[in-house]
C-alpha cells in the first residue's frame, strides 16, 4: 500500500455535498488567525448585504472579534445579528433591517432601547422613523 509520511495509510476524505463550504471554512479559519481586528471588521463590513446565512454568520463572528479594538464593529455586529435573524425568517433583535418593501422587519418586543444603546444603536422610535445609516 502506498503510504504517506511515516508509512501510514493515506486517508482521503471527500465531502461531495459541500466542497465549497468546507474549503471556505478551512480558508477562513487560516486567514482569521493572521488577521487584525480592523481586517476582520472590513471583511465583516463587506458581507453586510449578503443573502447567504453562512456568510452573514461568519461576518457576525468577525465583527464580534473586531470589537476589542474597533468601536464601530459593535454596531456592525448588531446589524449582522439582525440580518441573520431576518434571513432565517425570525424577528430581528435590534431593528436595523428593512424588508424589500422598505418596511421595518418585525422586531423582538423585549429588546430595550438601553440594550440598543450598548450596541451603539439609536432608539427603536428613531429606527422606525428612518433606516439605519451606514
Residue found under cell 432565517: 88
Predicted TM-score of the model (pTM): 0.74
Cα separation of 133 and 127, whole Å?
Answer: 10
| Mean predicted lDDT score pLDDT of the chain | 82
Domain residue limits, the chain:
35-129
Distance CA 53, CA 130 (A): 25
State which H helix or E strand residue 4 sits in. Answer: strand 3-4
Residue 92 has φ and ψ, to the nearest 5°, of -80, 160
Residue 6 has pLDDT above 50, yes or no: no
User: What SS3 class is residue 92?
Assistant: strand
Average pLDDT over residues 73-95: 97
| pLDDT at 20 (0 to 100) | 42
| Residue % of the chain over a pLDDT of 90 | 69
User: What digits encode the pLDDT tens for the residues 43-73?
Assistant: 999 999 999 999 999 999 999 999 999 999 9
Amino acid at each position: 500500500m502506498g503510504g504517506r509520511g511515516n508509512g501510514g495509510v493515506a486517508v482521503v476524505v471527500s465531502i461531495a455535498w459541500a466542497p465549497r463550504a468546507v474549503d471556505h471554512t478551512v480558508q477562513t479559519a487560516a486567514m482569521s488567525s493572521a488577521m487584525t481586528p480592523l481586517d476582520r471588521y472590513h471583511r465583516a463590513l463587506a458581507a453586510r448585504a449578503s443573502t447567504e446565512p453562512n456568510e452573514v454568520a461568519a461576518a457576525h463572528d468577525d465583527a464580534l472579534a473586531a470589537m476589542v479594538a474597533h468601536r464601530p464593529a459593535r454596531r456592525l455586529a448588531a446589524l449582522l445579528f439582525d440580518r441573520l435573524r431576518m434571513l432565517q425568517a425570525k424577528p430581528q433583535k435590534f431593528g436595523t433591517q428593512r424588508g424589500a418593501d422598505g418596511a421595518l422587519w418585525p422586531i423582538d418586543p423585549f429588546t430595550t432601547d438601553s440594550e440598543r444603546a450598548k450596541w451603539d444603536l439609536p432608539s427603536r422610535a428613531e429606527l422606525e422613523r428612518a433606516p439605519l445609516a451606514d
